[in-house]
Structure 1
């Protein structure tokens, strides 16, 4: 029960208690109803002074409460007041119950509105998924770079999209996120200047900030290539979202077509895939989203 309901019940209790007490006084003590009955005390006192025996004839119980000298009008008013109090109590209770029902109905309506808004945002918002695009040798250089593809699989454009991609060589399966650092959404000043939009169905590609020489992609040097990072964006409902990704490539799965190519060979004139996208594995850590 709310504090408001407790206060209402307490007030009604006080009103009913006072009304019952007043009616009890009126009913139980004739003097309250008919001042003429006070003469009995006066007559007894006078008899005591004069020594005369002039007893007062006390009316019967029925006469006491039905005497024509009684104040019938006050009786009628008293019972009418009592009835009015009862009706008022009943009306106040009805009003209170009606207000309580209205409050519950309003709360339920707002809850339904909030649920609908949440369901709508979850259904319509932008969702950015990250898929691997391999490790590729760049045009005009002997270096390789990790690539990813950003896919908006939601229904609204993703705005202010910041894509941060890293690449590194490791001789172990990385199990510590500290070894796979990404840009911090709250402290990296670069995020404030991004104004990229990814429409639903768009698939923009992005290369890593890091490069490695082609001859490093060798099992004699390293065991794995990791391409990892994070994408920050607004989902269409002014909510900041992120998708974190981590793709692992085993160097043993490399394209062996270029194993025997000497380091002095001319740089390619078109992009060449060194580690194919289908060879990527989603690492057990570093993949998360909200």
Structure 2
């Protein structure tokens, strides 16, 4: 009886050993396979993260490049507008006696579009005054009373005289001087912006610089831009 039990126990032990010996490699293989799968999963995760990082970096670079391109486009458009827009400048054109029976003189100006496109909705005011004050500073203008010029094409020159003339001044007394002021303003649209632009001007002539002779003539080269008057373009 006991012998059979011993033989059975021995057989069971041997069988367990054989089964264990056979299963152990399988378990080892399964563990290695799990490790390999885990390693592959980590590699795949790393590659995915790297790819996502690359995508984010590409997106950031693209956004930065787009912003740079947008700024460059805006700058280019602004530069083009500045280079192509209409610019109305005003130059002195002298003082002349009007061809009428009544002796009167009138100050003249020359308006020119030095830009590249049409100046539209152009309006102009030109005034003059004879004064002994070399530092005169009161030069009012009002767009509501301005003359409607319309459109001035690039390169065009428009000559205008003051809206009211004045009697020719007498020869100044010794030690005194007399001046003629010609001032005004030009309002216009520059071809790009709806905002109104304007050019203000104020020219001063010394009566002593008139040409000799019966006709009252002061050449434009004798004009000076008056320091106390409006001389700016916006």
Q: Does TM, normalized by the shorter one, top 0.5?
A: yes
Q: CA, structure 1 residues 99+249, in 2 after alignment: closer, same or farther (shift >3 Å)?
A: same
Are 1:171 and 1:222, in contact at CA under 8 Å, matched by a contact in 2?
Answer: yes
Q: CA, structure 1 residues 119+273, in 2 after alignment: closer, same or farther (shift >3 Å)?
A: farther
Distance 2:129 2:178 in 1: 11
Distance 2:157 2:189 in 1: 17
Distance 1:175 1:93 in 2: 72
Query: Among residues 149, 155, 159, which one is paired with 1:205 in the alignment?
Result: 159
Are 1:163 and 1:206, in contact at CA under 8 Å, matched by a contact in 2?
Answer: no
- TM-superposed deviation, 1:209: 2.6
**How high is the TM-score relative to the length of structure 1?**
0.61
**Partner deviation per Cα, 1:46-65 (whole Å, 9 max, x = no partner):** xxxxxxxxxxxxxxxxxxxx
Runs ≥4 in structure 1, deviation > 6 angstroms?
Answer: none
- TM-superposed deviation, 1:148: 0.4
Distance 1:101 1:225 in 2: 64
**How high is the TM-score relative to the length of structure 2?**
0.75
- TM-superposed deviation, 1:170: 2.7
Structure 2 SS opposite 1:212: coil
Query: Among residues 180, 188, 211, which one is paired with 2:139 in the alignment?
Result: 180
Structure 2 SS opposite 1:172: coil
Q: CA, structure 1 residues 287+172, in 2 after alignment: closer, same or farther (shift >3 Å)?
A: same
Distance 2:51 2:170 in 1: 86
Distance 1:164 1:82 in 2: 82
Alignment RMSD (CA, Å)? 2.8
Aligned to 2:232: 288
**Partner deviation per Cα, 1:94-130 (whole Å, 9 max, x = no partner):** 0011011111221222222223222322222222121
Distance 1:159 1:180 in 2: 25
Q: CA, structure 1 residues 79+171, in 2 after alignment: closer, same or farther (shift >3 Å)?
A: same
Query: Among residues 126, 140, 150, which one is paired with 1:196 in the alignment?
Result: 150
What number of residue pairs does the alignment pair up? 204
- TM-superposed deviation, 1:73: 5.4
